[in-house]
Amino acid sequence: MAIITTTKRTERFRRTTPPTCKYWLAGRCNRNPCGFSHSLPTSPSNVYYNANTTYKHSKKPDSSVEKMASSSAKKAINCAPKAFKKPENCALKAVECRPEAEAISVEKPSKCEQKAEAISSVEKPSKCEQKAVLIEKTADVEDVATVAKACVDKSRSICKYWMTDNCVDGDLCQNLHSWFYGDGFSTLAKLHEHKEAITGIALPAGSNKLISGSTDGTVRAWDCNTGRCVNMIHLNSQVTSLISEGPWIFAGVKNAVKAWNIQTGADVTLDGPKGQVLSLNVGNDILLAGAEDGVIYAWRCSFETPFKLVATLSGHSKPVVCLAIGCHRMLYSGSMDHSIKVWDLDTFQCTMTLNGHTNVVTSLICWDNYLLSGSSDCTVNVWVCTEEGTLEVTYTHTHQIAVLGLYGMTDAEAKPILFCSCKDNSVRMYELPTFLERGRLFTRQEVRSFQIGPGGLFFTGDGTGLLNVWKWLEE
């Protein structure tokens, strides 16, 4: 019988090799051919044959390879239609299997990779594929930093953890790590001596002192050059409003108004109000005080003779929160009863009542011929006088949070800027008359007071007792 000896064979894809002949190992095998291997066992490899192995039969080495190739081609062709039918699911699986697919050798690709390659040929990628691309991009640290920076640029709220020095995200935090954002202004100083909310800031005429009042029961005087507190007055009562007119300083407390003259040293107490004095204003030599009992008290003040109570303006059913004096000797008052009343200062009579808000009217300012009102109903109304002499709302700016105060001034370029203090511990800055947001200030608690200073300075006082000094930057 002819003996076929194999000298070279193609890969046969066999999982095991014939066992070694034990008689051959002992040198006593007399079989020819022998069904067992006459060689020592070797380590596994991709080629399962040995040059010294003899077999009874031999098959064409290319037959198994051709069958394997044809079966692989059929599977690839069958997978493609499935990928087109459900591209989203296949793409999602491809993303999930990606780490495993990278570990598999190139010679034997996985089904997930084959499906992913079939999907990549589609002209219009699915949503899942777009997400896969996004995942691949954000896997890089630099890309993550870029995406995070973009989120920070778009953010409009301050990081509450950064405010307490506890933020662990650092530059990757999606919220702001700054006390303000916007161009054209900066912060100069932070004065923190008050223990509670600052409710009034004043700059008396003829003095280099900044005066502040707080609900901690004190009035403090600050040196404008050094920023240090140089004097403090204990009133033993919460200061809920504070203004200055000429050399006089007025502070609203419970059941009274305290007055000081910084030039003569005079100290006066004006009795009459019932409850806390929540708002103060001076116009036409008349000191006006809005009290918790809903009444406005008016004192005639020539600043040379003693103050004299000349009128009490009754009309509001709840506390008077804010006062503003406009042209034509008119007084505007906002109350917790949701209304705005217009008073004639010559006759002390109410001429009209405005009902444009659905919640507490928290702030009023007069700007040229316009009246602006802010409310806890999250709106700012712009009122204009009609030909009939009435006031109508010409524009309403809506916020997502309650409005606490409105303040107006001009920037370094003489553009009118409206400051809008909100319940979310921020102050939004709008250019008028477009109401385009110019920037935003942030505090640990809401801003309760605002004051304009010389040379582009302005001051804000918040609920923590912090007094911030800001300045508009010249070009």
Residue 114 pLDDT > 70: no
Report the alpha-carbon distance of residue 203 to residue 220 in Å, rounded.
12
Higher-pLDDT residue of 326, 132:
326
The tens digit of pLDDT for each residue in 24-79 reads: 777 777 777 787 888 766 544 343 334 444 444 444 444 444 444 444 444 443 43
The tens digit of pLDDT for each residue in 145-200 reads: 444 444 434 456 788 777 777 788 777 788 887 778 887 888 889 999 999 999 99
Query: Contact 425/442 with Cβ under 8 angstroms?
Result: yes
User: Residue 475: what pLDDT?
Assistant: 63
User: Residue 339: what pLDDT?
Assistant: 96
Query: Contact 233/247 with Cβ under 8 angstroms?
Result: no
DSSP 170: G
Nearest to 311 by CA among 335, 327, 289, 341: 289
Report the alpha-carbon distance of residue 1 to residue 308 in Å, rounded.
141
pTM: 0.66
Mean pLDDT of the chain: 77
Say how many C-beta atoms besides its own lie within 10 A of residue 92's C-beta.
17
Residue 340 pLDDT > 60: yes
- CA torsion 312-322-219-224 (nearest 10°) is -130
Q: What string of H, E and C letters represents the secondary structure of 397-430?
A: EECCCCEEEEEEEECCCCCEEEEEEECCCEEEEE
Mean pLDDT of 379-393: 89
- Name the fold adopted by 181-472: Methylamine Dehydrogenase; Chain H (2.130.10)
According to DSSP, the β-strands at 267-283 and 248-261 are antiparallel
User: Residue 42: what pLDDT?
Assistant: 54
The tens digit of pLDDT for each residue in 7-26 reads: 444 444 444 567 788 777 77
Residue 3 pLDDT > 80: no
Mean pLDDT of 232-248: 93
Query: Contact 442/158 with Cβ under 8 angstroms?
Result: yes
Binned at pLDDT 50, 70 and 90, residue 366 comes out as very high
**Any long-range contacts for 350-359 (C-beta under 8 Å, 24+ apart)?**
350/313, 350/315, 352/390, 352/391, 353/315, 354/383, 354/391, 356/381, 356/383, 356/393, 357/381, 359/402
Higher-pLDDT residue of 301, 120:
301
Cα Rg of the chain (Å, integer):
42
3-state secondary structure of 187: strand
Report the alpha-carbon distance of residue 247 to residue 264 in Å, rounded.
9
Higher-pLDDT residue of 210, 155:
210
Report the alpha-carbon distance of residue 395 to residue 233 in Å, rounded.
43
% of residues, the chain, pLDDT over 90: 47
DSSP 389: S
Residue 358 pLDDT > 50: yes
User: Residue 220: what pLDDT?
Assistant: 96
Mean pLDDT of 261-275: 90
Residue 99 pLDDT > 90: no
User: Residue 156: what pLDDT?
Assistant: 62
Report the alpha-carbon distance of residue 158 to residue 174 in Å, rounded.
9
User: Residue 123: what pLDDT?
Assistant: 47
Q: Residue 195 contacts by C-beta under 8 Å, 6 or more apart in sequence?
A: 214, 216, 465
% of residues, the chain, pLDDT over 70: 71
| Tokens (6 digits) for 152 | 């920070």
Beta bridge partners of 462: 447
Residue 447 pLDDT > 90: yes
Domain ranges of the chain: 1-58, 61-139, 143-172, 181-472
User: Residue 203: what pLDDT?
Assistant: 93
Higher-pLDDT residue of 302, 441:
441
Kind and range of the H or E run holding 181: strand 180-182
Report the alpha-carbon distance of residue 449 to residue 415 in Å, rounded.
22
Report the alpha-carbon distance of residue 35 to residue 33 in Å, rounded.
7
Report the alpha-carbon distance of residue 177 to residue 468 in Å, rounded.
17
Say how many C-beta atoms besides its own lie within 10 A of residue 452's C-beta.
15
User: Residue 55: what pLDDT?
Assistant: 40
List phi, psi (to 5°) of 146.
-65, -45
User: Residue 79: what pLDDT?
Assistant: 39
The tens digit of pLDDT for each residue in 412-428 reads: 888 999 999 999 999 99
